[in-house]
Structure 1
Amino acid sequence: MLIGRVLGPTEVEVDGAVADLGGPLPRRLVTALLAAEGRPVAEDALAEAVWGTGPPANPGNSLQAYVSRLRRTLGRSALIRAGEGYRLVVDDTDAARFAADVRRGRELLGDERPGEALRRFETALARWRGEAYADLPDTYARTALAELRAVAEEERLAARLATGDAPGAAGELEAAVRAEPYRERRWELLITALYRGGRQAEALAALRRVRSRLADDLGIDPGPALQELEGRLLAQDPGLLLPSRPAPAVRPLSHFFGRAGELAALAELTAHARLVTLVGPGGAGKTRLAIEHAASLGPWFVRLADVREAALVPAAVAAAIGVRGATTTAIATALGERPGLLLLDNCEHVVAAVADLALELLTRCPGLRVLATSRESLAVDGERLLPVTPLPTADAIALLTDRISAVRPGWRPAPAESATLTRLAEALDGIPLALELAAARARVLSLAELLDMLHDRFPALGPVPRGALAPHETLEAAVAWSVDLLGASDRAMLLRLWPYEGGFPLSAVEDDLDALSALVARSVVVADTTVTPTRYRLLEIVRAYCRQRDPDPAGSREQHAAWVRILVEHHAPLLRGDRSAHSIRVLNRELPNLRTAIRHDLEQHPATALRTAGLLEWFWFRGGLVADGLPLLHAALAAAPDAPPTDRARAHLSACMLRYMSGDPLAPDELYAGFEILGDHPDHDGEILAAQGAYYESLYWSFRGDFPRAVAPARRSMAMSTAIGEEWILPAATMSLGAALAGSGEVDEGRRVLARAGAEATALRQGWTAAMSGLLLARALLTASPARPQEAPPSEAATPARQQEAPPSEAATPARPQETPTEAATPARPGEALTVVREALALFDSEDDVGNVLACLHTGAYAMALTGRVDEAARLLVSVRRAAARRGLDLDGADPIRAAGLAELIPPAAFPDTADDEADLPALLSVARANADNTSISAHRGAETGNN
């Protein structure tokens, strides 16, 4: 991209870097071409611009030499031959940007937005670095730009005056009229500034000065504008005072959406409180809400966004209510005891001055009520706050749809666009200003393109339309306004918070409550106090702003990743103990942060990423987070082949569990890969992993239906746990043995061992192992074993000893034939299984183990089908399978025995149409939370127990 700079020594910026033009003569050539603004310039004219009246013998050849060198610097497509001369093509120039800034500033001033106009004029004038086209001896373009610069300076002073800063503007205008005493516009502004500042005598003296200067030096009278001003000054026209901002007596032109609750709350508050402040982030719609409430009340509306200094707040209020004296006393005297509503809009940058003014006016004017909008409270006694939060998704979609329809006549979202519309509303956090600007862009972009604009950068959504109530021209300006009001340390903290996904707790900022409270108070961080611990987050538009302006983004990402590592190291060991439910909930809340930090470490610290992902093995498993955990584990194993052996082995064992849950038949490969690593490195952590891995192996073969193969690993786990002094592993190892025995035909023994495992786990407060023991016990209760022959002991009558000891008469008696003993059949007990599975379900739910909640429901569906409730079982099964599939789980593959049984028990016709079945995980979880006997499983518990 090429940018030409001519408001000073000529420069050309190529892709952000200033190019070396090669000395004064080629720079004059470039300057002459830039002055032509893209039009061709003949060689003769270029030679005159470069050499003046003394060109070389062959200027054409010299020009060609300069052009060749410049093409190598600027690119061939930038400097092209055109007829008998050359043309320079650039993307933009500082002169064009300056002119555009001046034009926009004048528009803003005409729209009575002087604060924004002032900033735009200041931006325009800051582009000047010296004299325009300084490298050319003479050019008309310089004269035109110099005139526009003078106009811009005058308009800047007019904007400053319009913001209410009459004293400051007067000082600058005195210097301006001394510099150019014949520009009557400057005298008009100076006289007006003096009059508005209460210096009427000086204003009249200035009028006499300009009359005298024009008459003495030029022999002319003042122009019409100055003559009209003189008449108004002598008549003390009140219109010379700062005009008030438009009051919202007329409702805004656009439709207002949502906010029914806030409007009701605001009506209730203002009925009893005399000072109410609407607080919330920039762009959330505080001004619009205040106007919707007050439109019928005819308030005095004071737009403070344009007031740059705290000392000017009384003057702005005085102008709004038509009081000539710009003091609090004059305002209070004018208001007296009459009732009225004073609406103070955008107070955050002058909050102390507004608070002092409001307190004094409310004390002295008993009929007055004040409604303020601000990004922080006024902190005045008796103040009532009403937070204005972003719109809910439904209202945000309605607003988007309405505004897009306004720029696309006849448009209604197609089915394919509805989902994109929802994502767009969510991506913009329901911030009305962002939604309005996005809708305006929808005139030239599709919804998908708009959504894509929001990824990883601040949304370039364009300017606010004319007549809008927003005090800032762009969304970025609205966010910058909030950030710039922060102190240096608070701003530094805010800019470091963008890597946090889905929010963060206080510990993420090293428990710096004071700094975080300051950010919350100023509405740049949102605090959710309805949860414990309080959850903090940045709105997405604030995150995007901070990401762009963070001076050390790599450091911020590293700080975030370090916090996640500490979090995981603390909570991972707790996942098997009595605090496992708490740790699962903490990690579930931080799942977006876990993903982000591990991905960061995959790039920067692969071995660390492997350790973190492996330590989360039980979190991935218990949450059924196959789609999250498995890719991260595999990526970390590939990226860190030289990581510590125990970390690699743990990652393989974790991947085994997740691959099994996904129905992958190659899951044992991961298990045995982990065992192979552990065999070479028998440290204590490795011994613990080996003992755990042994019962993982046992459970795997049991779940695959190869129960005899599952017995030995379970016994090995029990022996290893005892040998290494880690008896806390024993309940899980015992549980795996019970499952293996029950499946191997020793059903009664298996049930007894599983019950013992559950009791041991409960005694050790291992809630998850107790729940899993219950699930496996329920499956054992659903397992029946047929009667089978029992091996008979040797006949006592046949032994020689017995024959010698027997009396003669008995010995002579022929022995009776022996009956073959049989082991009694063990029946399935589905009613009892329903009771047990419901208890396991509640335990898994309390442990936040979604995957095994679904596994319990899958087993419960089988139990229900065995009791004859086929239709109910089919409905439950469809919902469970759909919820599991969304999490990457294959419940049928994980429990093939029950799956085969369900296939036999439930005919295809019993399954409902999945298109009509909207049950999802929250509905299924309600089964676990319900205590009444009317849930999908528990409704049948009592009846089925009775039937069996």
Structure 2
Amino acid sequence: MGLHGAVLTFAVLGPLEVRAGDQPVDVGGRLPRRLLAILIAAEGRRVSEDSLVEGLWGDRRPRNPAGALQVYVSRLRRVLPGTALQRSAGSYRLLAADTDVARFRGHLVRARALVAGDRRAEAHEAFDAALRLWRGTPYEDLADDESTTAIRAALVEQRDSAQEEGAAALLATGDHAGAVAVLELLVHAAPYRERRWQLLALALYRSGRQADALNAVRRVRTLLAEELGVDPGPELRQLEGRILAQDPALAPGVRPLSSFIGRDADLALLDRLVATHRLVTVVGPAGAGKTRLAVEWARRDGVVRLADVADPALLVSAVAAAVGVTGFAGDPYEALVERLRLHGDPLVLDNCEHLAGEVARLVVDLLDRIPVLRVVATSRSPLGVDGEHILPLGPLAADDAVTLLTDRIRAGRPGWFGHDADRRDLRRLADALDHLPLALELAAARVRTFGVRGLIEQLDDRFTVLGRIPHGTMTPHATLQEAVAWSFDLLSGDERDLAVRLWPYEGGFPVEAAASAAAGLGALVSLVDQSVVTAEPGGGTARYRMLETIRAYCRSVDRDPAATRAGHAVWVRELVARAAGDLQGVRSATTMAALRQELPNLRAGLAHDLTHAPVEALRTAARLMWFWIRSGLLAEGNRVLTAALAAAPDAPLGDVVRARTASAGLLYFTGDVTRARRMLSEAILAVGAEPGHRSLLAEVRYYQALVQLPGGDPAIALTAAAEAHAIATETQTTWLIPATEMAWGAALVMAGRIADGRHRLRAAVRLAEASGRVWTAALSEFMLAQTLVDAGDGEALPLLRSSLRRFLDEGDLSNQLAVLHNGALALDAAGDAAGAALLRDVVHSHQARSAIRPAGTFLRSIMPHGWYEGAPPAQPPTLDDAVAVLAAPARAV
């Protein structure tokens, strides 16, 4: 580490440069720079004091060379704190220096492996990354040092070869014109390197320029003859003959598509990370394809498979044997170090999770001993090593998952292409299997037996149905269940208990769901680290999820799954009970967002309670009334409420009345106003006959007033609103006071007392804003705007815009559509036919997809003939388009 903890990097492919992070470090004058360059050139080996003195001063040594050397060493240590500059037995060495030479060689190793794996585009990028590190002559500060002449010459040769290999890789990608441009520069820079001329001629020929290709060969023949008196080598002469004969083999071949699907971005990212970090650990859940990614990246036999190494004492021997160390008589660790130092290949360690501590210690030691070494590890949890860079490997993207399924199904059923219905079912199957490559591979093999849809229906018993993993695959496990159990068995008792407790959660869960467990947050953090639970950051707060395959395993090992499911249902009830009050208050927008996020859990909890605790289901469903309405889930809410009322005939009166009131509200928004009014009348009769239900009576009377709008009985609306307002004021029911003021104002308008009604509606807006009831303020503004639209009042559109903004913030789709319907009326009246038509199309398209009928709610009963008849537009404008039109100031009435 350097200044302020920044990592020190050394660049010698040009003038010496030292940086601490992004900041340059001034090493000093010529001699300190020269000393540091000599130590870097030794690449971690010891350099004797005599050699250092010779390199610094040659024949012009100072009177006390050892003392002078010590002065410069001390100066280096001061300006480069934290460097491992060691002295022992009359020598010095610089350990584990992060140099551009090491990075250059690492890029070359990677690039050549990519060429061997026929991944030419990535290889070209790797060669290019290596060459971008060069800034001039290598070890420029040692230009007159004979001891480093061979080092500098070798680096130049490596650079020149890399330029040619990079050009060859570019040519292999099919970018023939680009290769021509690069190679023309290369032959100019080093005209005697025949490999460059050979590649240039081939690039020209593949560009359709046969004459220019032959001319390139003649140019180099003339150059060599005139300046060196020699002929071109046999490869170049042979190429000339093949170009003359138009050999078909010279044409660019078409390489088959790889069956390694959906991981191109991950491979490219791994390339970049290995180029800049010495240790990269690929972390992900069972079946994500970590081993396959590592093998595809390495494309060699150097992947060390640790899954079968159960004894930590055998780790070093296993790694040594895997990388080709044989017949060693001494310490296997020293033999391993020497092998890795000589060959310079990255070390790839696969399946490290069960030996994480031992692997971590080994990796730290190897990286310290071998400055040029790069390590790639795969594990279900990080190794926990300082400087480790984590590459999370999650499930495939949805489209890639379907592509993988299709590819593997065709491998077993040649000619299978699937119809549109099959493709839809493939997406469902891929989703059910979490887009995990291992699960998808197994499922594809079972499609031949069950068909796609039939296999989906069997996935409740997925571990049995998917069967054994075929021989020759890269996973070390025999079945998918064993692969998951491998992770589960590595957990502590508290971690296993929490994992089992979390399986009922559908669609993920917030941190609070796990924090209440005995093991608490510590166990959750560990489950995330070990890829049993996935953390999904978003909006400043992480959300957590278990893959379906892991959920299925946890359910299979749960000793009391019924109790676990019941515990989840209790969590859902408590969540909804807390949220119900907030839906009418200052937190209504965030509460709506939270409930929408938990909708899969709400559905699962309600489904459980409908069977096992129907009264609780009734309470929960009634509390969700405004969530159903504002989310546009009217049909779903009605189905749940109807089922709950049927399942709990003996529920307490208050619960039944609230459920019937909620059902009436949903019916009202679907346009079934008659049934809504009848249900509320029955609810009032029931609650009014019982003492002790004053607040509930006020609530039901409030809704009774609302459902009279439009076209109902003005007298009923006025009486109900006035009584509800009086009881709300008497009981100081905070949310109900502005709400009943609004209902009273609407009832007055309905009774023809327009001015009085507008006065109360404006008062409702003020009361709602003062108490933080944003939704009530929005609805009051909307009702007030409705009274102004027909009158052509210029205030109508600003009020509609304001209410729409509030409803957008609140996530209330039903009332957004109601505002847009009235906005269309206002724009039509103002002569903006195009704007009105756009708003109508948006409302019509949403109305066709849901049960919402915004044209018949509240004060608006008039609907122009034919507005929403027939099919909606095939490509309707979006809700955002409608908002923009209504918000445009130029459209004011």
TM-score w.r.t. the length of structure 1 is 0.64
Question: Counterpart in 1 of 2:515?
Answer: 510
Counterpart CA distance in 2 for 1:886 and 1:765 is 33
Instruction: State the shift of 1:661 in Å.
Output: 1.5
Contact kept in structure 2, 1:299 and 1:342, CA below 8 Å: no
Instruction: State the shift of 1:432 in Å.
Output: 0.9
| Bigger mean CA deviation after superposition, 274-283 or 878-887 | 878-887
Contact kept in structure 2, 1:420 and 1:448, CA below 8 Å: yes
Equivalent positions of 1:210-249 (< 5 A) are none
Instruction: State the shift of 1:858 in Å.
Output: 2.4
Contact kept in structure 1, 2:709 and 2:857, CA below 8 Å: no
Question: Counterpart in 2 of 1:536?
Answer: 544
Which amino acid is the alignment partner of residue 446 of structure 2? Answer: R
Contact kept in structure 2, 1:407 and 1:442, CA below 8 Å: no
Q: 1:434 aligns with which of 439, 443, 446?
A: 439
Which amino acid is the alignment partner of residue 802 of structure 2? Answer: E
Q: For residues 705 and 641 of structure 1, do their structure 2 counterparts lie closer, same or farther at Cα, with a shift above 3 Å needed?
A: closer
Equivalent positions of 1:816-855 (< 5 A) are 827-829=791-793, 832-855=795-818
Equivalent positions of 1:494-893 (< 5 A) are 494-511=499-516, 512-664=520-672, 665-683=674-692, 686-704=693-711, 706-783=713-790, 827-829=791-793, 832-893=795-856
Contact kept in structure 2, 1:568 and 1:612, CA below 8 Å: yes
Counterpart CA distance in 2 for 1:857 and 1:642 is 42
Equivalent positions of 1:244-255 (< 5 A) are 255=259
Which amino acid is the alignment partner of residue 635 of structure 1? Answer: A
Classify the secondary structure of the residue corresponding to 1:277.
strand
Q: Deviations over 1:164-218 (max 9, x none)?
A: xxxxxxxxxxxxxxxxxxxxxxxxxxxxxxxxxxxxxxxxxxxxxxxxxxxxxxx
Contact kept in structure 1, 2:295 and 2:303, CA below 8 Å: no
Which amino acid is the alignment partner of residue 748 of structure 2? Answer: L
Identical columns (%): 45
Counterpart CA distance in 2 for 1:656 and 1:405 is 53
Instruction: Indicate whether 1:917 and 2:879 are aligned.
Output: no
Q: What is the number of equivalent residue pairs in this alignment?
A: 632
Q: 2:394 aligns with which of 377, 384, 389?
A: 389
Question: Counterpart in 2 of 1:943?
Answer: 890
Q: For residues 457 and 780 of structure 1, do their structure 2 counterparts lie closer, same or farther at Cα, with a shift above 3 Å needed?
A: farther
Q: Deviations over 1:820-865 (max 9, x none)?
A: xxxxxxx233x53222112111111211222222222222223233
Q: 1:346 aligns with which of 328, 343, 351?
A: 351
Counterpart CA distance in 2 for 1:703 and 1:423 is 44
Classify the secondary structure of the residue corresponding to 2:465.
coil
Instruction: State the shift of 1:470 in Å.
Output: 2.4
Unaligned runs of 5+ in 2: 1-254
Which amino acid is the alignment partner of residue 473 of structure 1? Answer: A
Q: Deviations over 1:302-322 (max 9, x none)?
A: 111122222222122111112
Counterpart CA distance in 2 for 1:437 and 1:903 is 57
Q: Deviations over 1:36-74 (max 9, x none)?
A: xxxxxxxxxxxxxxxxxxxxxxxxxxxxxxxxxxxxxxx
Instruction: Indicate whether 1:478 and 2:483 are aligned.
Output: yes
Counterpart CA distance in 1 for 2:612 and 2:689 is 28
Classify the secondary structure of the residue corresponding to 2:374.
strand
Which amino acid is the alignment partner of residue 337 of structure 2? Answer: A
Instruction: State the shift of 1:339 in Å.
Output: 1.5
Counterpart CA distance in 2 for 1:458 and 1:670 is 49
Counterpart CA distance in 2 for 1:453 and 1:872 is 51
Question: Counterpart in 1 of 2:93?
Answer: none
Counterpart CA distance in 2 for 1:472 and 1:862 is 66
Instruction: Indicate whether 1:304 and 2:306 are aligned.
Output: yes
Quick check: which has more Rg, 1 or 2?
1
Instruction: State the shift of 1:903 in Å.
Output: 2.5
Counterpart CA distance in 2 for 1:389 and 1:699 is 50
Counterpart CA distance in 1 for 2:597 and 2:676 is 28
Instruction: State the shift of 1:553 in Å.
Output: 0.2
Contact kept in structure 2, 1:743 and 1:780, CA below 8 Å: no
| Bigger mean CA deviation after superposition, 267-276 or 465-474 | 465-474
Question: Counterpart in 2 of 1:235?
Answer: none
Classify the secondary structure of the residue corresponding to 1:902.
coil
Contact kept in structure 1, 2:709 and 2:859, CA below 8 Å: no
Equivalent positions of 1:110-121 (< 5 A) are none
Contact kept in structure 1, 2:443 and 2:466, CA below 8 Å: yes
Classify the secondary structure of the residue corresponding to 2:583.
helix
Classify the secondary structure of the residue corresponding to 1:587.
helix
Counterpart CA distance in 1 for 2:541 and 2:685 is 43
Instruction: State the shift of 1:254 in Å.
Output: 5.6
Q: Deviations over 1:429-463 (max 9, x none)?
A: 11111111111212222111121122475462133
Q: For residues 334 and 290 of structure 1, do their structure 2 counterparts lie closer, same or farther at Cα, with a shift above 3 Å needed?
A: closer
Classify the secondary structure of the residue corresponding to 1:548.
helix
Which amino acid is the alignment partner of residue 869 of structure 1? Answer: D
Question: Counterpart in 2 of 1:491?
Answer: 496
Equivalent positions of 1:62-211 (< 5 A) are none
Equivalent positions of 1:34-45 (< 5 A) are none
Q: 1:272 aligns with which of 276, 279, 286?
A: 276
Contact kept in structure 1, 2:704 and 2:720, CA below 8 Å: yes
Contact kept in structure 2, 1:328 and 1:361, CA below 8 Å: no
Question: Counterpart in 2 of 1:38?
Answer: none
Q: For residues 706 and 877 of structure 1, do their structure 2 counterparts lie closer, same or farther at Cα, with a shift above 3 Å needed?
A: farther
Which amino acid is the alignment partner of residue 680 of structure 2? Answer: L
Q: For residues 604 and 444 of structure 1, do their structure 2 counterparts lie closer, same or farther at Cα, with a shift above 3 Å needed?
A: closer
Counterpart CA distance in 1 for 2:598 and 2:725 is 34
Which amino acid is the alignment partner of residue 585 of structure 1? Answer: A
Q: For residues 383 and 252 of structure 1, do their structure 2 counterparts lie closer, same or farther at Cα, with a shift above 3 Å needed?
A: farther
| Bigger mean CA deviation after superposition, 652-661 or 689-698 | 689-698
Classify the secondary structure of the residue corresponding to 1:703.
coil
Question: Counterpart in 1 of 2:240?
Answer: none
Question: Counterpart in 2 of 1:263?
Answer: 267
Contact kept in structure 2, 1:782 and 1:828, CA below 8 Å: yes
Instruction: Indicate whether 1:445 and 2:439 are aligned.
Output: no
Which amino acid is the alignment partner of residue 308 of structure 1? Answer: A
Contact kept in structure 1, 2:746 and 2:859, CA below 8 Å: no
Q: 1:454 aligns with which of 455, 459, 463?
A: 459
Counterpart CA distance in 2 for 1:454 and 1:531 is 33
Q: 2:374 aligns with which of 353, 369, 376?
A: 369
Contact kept in structure 1, 2:618 and 2:656, CA below 8 Å: yes
Q: 2:415 aligns with which of 410, 413, 424?
A: 410
Classify the secondary structure of the residue corresponding to 2:709.
helix
Q: For residues 743 and 253 of structure 1, do their structure 2 counterparts lie closer, same or farther at Cα, with a shift above 3 Å needed?
A: closer
Counterpart CA distance in 2 for 1:489 and 1:775 is 53
Counterpart CA distance in 2 for 1:552 and 1:681 is 42
Instruction: Indicate whether 1:355 and 2:355 are aligned.
Output: no
Counterpart CA distance in 2 for 1:487 and 1:725 is 52
Q: For residues 257 and 914 of structure 1, do their structure 2 counterparts lie closer, same or farther at Cα, with a shift above 3 Å needed?
A: farther
| Bigger mean CA deviation after superposition, 638-647 or 763-772 | 638-647
Contact kept in structure 1, 2:617 and 2:644, CA below 8 Å: yes
Counterpart CA distance in 2 for 1:286 and 1:381 is 22
Unaligned runs of 5+ in 1: 1-250, 784-826, 929-934
Counterpart CA distance in 2 for 1:456 and 1:721 is 54
Q: For residues 475 and 731 of structure 1, do their structure 2 counterparts lie closer, same or farther at Cα, with a shift above 3 Å needed?
A: same
Q: Deviations over 1:386-414 (max 9, x none)?
A: 10111111111111122222222122121
Instruction: State the shift of 1:711 in Å.
Output: 2.0
